[in-house]
């Protein structure tokens, strides 16, 4: 359950900081090949936050990837330590993709509700067992 207080998060070195207000639109795991490469794991754990309820301070560098769907994802990382800070997808106008691990203990409030791109998940990863699974994007 979302607490009334804002969530403050920062990268590993403290240079890039986020303040998030209110609950995210949704939370998910994404096992697409780009998220696997970007995180170095089987999937990314993400929250989708309306950008009008997000404040950012610091500097990032970004790289862009183009998904099979044609959507472009701009992946922003801290310029100093390289921590993933947020993503912007052309499929999600007005929203940011926030890595749940960036939120520290506050991430406990936001268990992922589904896994997208489950077609790419590795057989040994059982993190998404019991979650709604989508071969690619969710229907909605």
Confidence of residue 2 (pLDDT cuts 50, 70, 90): very low
When divided into structural domains, the chain yields a total of: 1
CATH of the domain at 100: 3.90.1590.10
Q: What is the mean pLDDT of the chain?
A: 92
Instruction: Render pLDDT for 26-57 as a digit per residue (tens, 0 to 9).
Output: 999 999 998 998 889 999 999 999 999 999 99
Query: 7 lies in a domain?
Result: no
Query: 124 lies in a domain?
Result: yes
Q: In what order do the strands lie in the sheet with 84-89?
A: 60-66, 72-78, 84-89, 95-99, 44-50, 26-30, 114-116, 132-133
57 is written with which tokens?
């301070």
Query: 16 lies in a domain?
Result: no
Query: 119 lies in a domain?
Result: yes
Query: 86 lies in a domain?
Result: yes
| Residue 83 belongs to domain spanning | 25-133
What local confidence, expressed as pLDDT, does residue 85 receive? 97
């Amino acid at each position: 359950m979302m607490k009334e207080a804002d969530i403050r998060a920062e990268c590993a070195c403290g240079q890039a900081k986020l303040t998030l207000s209110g609950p995210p639109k949704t939370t998910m795991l994404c096992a697409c090949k780009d998220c696997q490469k970007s995180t170095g794991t089987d999937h990314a754990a993400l929250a989708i936050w309306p950008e009008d309820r997000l404040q950012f301070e610091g500097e990032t560098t970004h790289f862009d990837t183009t998904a099979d769907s044609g959507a472009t994802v701009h992946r922003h990382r801290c310029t100093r330590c390289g921590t993933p800070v947020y993503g912007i997808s052309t499929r999600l106008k007005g929203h940011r993709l926030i890595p749940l691990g960036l939120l520290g203990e506050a991430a406990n409030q936001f268990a992922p509700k589904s896994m997208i791109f489950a077609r790419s998940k590795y057989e040994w990863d059982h993190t998404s067992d019991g979650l709604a699974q989508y071969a690619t994007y969710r229907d909605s």
